[in-house]
Structure 1
Amino acid sequence: MATNAIYIIKKPVLTEKSTDAMNEHGRYTFEVDRKATKTDIKNAIESLYGVQVERVQTRTQKGKLKRLRYGYVREKVKKSATVRLAEGQSIELF
């Protein structure tokens, strides 16, 4: 996998559910590169934000099937990671 952390972490996911998890439990959700492993994600978060990561949970979401005039097209596969930080640490997203 790419060693540069900028290519592993694409963007933070800011939904109502992820914001509640961030405020209550200290869990942050990021959209990550599809080929990134949990170790890659952990190292990227620690180097970019300077925090200690306790746990990484990943999930892969299949692309939706879209109907067009000439047939069907599938969107790209997305991978997201939920990261739990050590006690008392936080990330300033905004």
Structure 2
Amino acid sequence: MSYEVYHIIKKPIITEESQIQTAKANQYTFQVASNANKIQIKRAVETMFPGVHVVSVNTMNCKGKTRRNFRTRQLGKKADWKKAIVTLRAGEKIELV
């Protein structure tokens, strides 16, 4: 497995909403590198999880939230990040947990 694959896909996003998407539409959600495009994400998922065929990839850029420092009460900002929703072929699945 290529070292680059782990730089493209950072981690799966496991929330209540993403679990519903997985059950209904066979879609999985990942946090990915901000500079990754859809073709790189598709290749990374198919390399990381053998036997899986990606039908489509939808991406969105998410803004980082504003947070206040506990000690100094100054405002700060979390980093912006990119989310990818990957749709798999019918009957295929990825074991994330």
User: How does the TM-score come out when normalised to structure 2?
Assistant: 0.88
Q: Which moved more, 1:64-73 or 1:4-13?
A: 64-73
**Distance in 2, Cα, partners of 1:92 & 1:72:** 39
How far does the alpha carbon of each residue in 1:63-87 deviate from its partner, in whole angstroms, 9 at most, with x for none? 1112332632111001110000012
The sequence identity of aligned pairs, in percent, is 37
Match of 1:71 in 2: 74
Partner letter of residue 33 of structure 1? Answer: A
Unaligned runs of 5+ in 2: none
User: How does the TM-score come out when normalised to structure 1?
Assistant: 0.90
Alpha-carbon RMSD across the aligned residues, in angstroms, is 1.3
Within a 5 Å distance, the mapping from 1:17-32 to structure 2 comes to 17-32=17-32
1:83 aligns with 2:93: no
Unaligned runs of 5+ in 1: none
CA drift of 1:58 comes to 0.6
Match of 1:92 in 2: 95
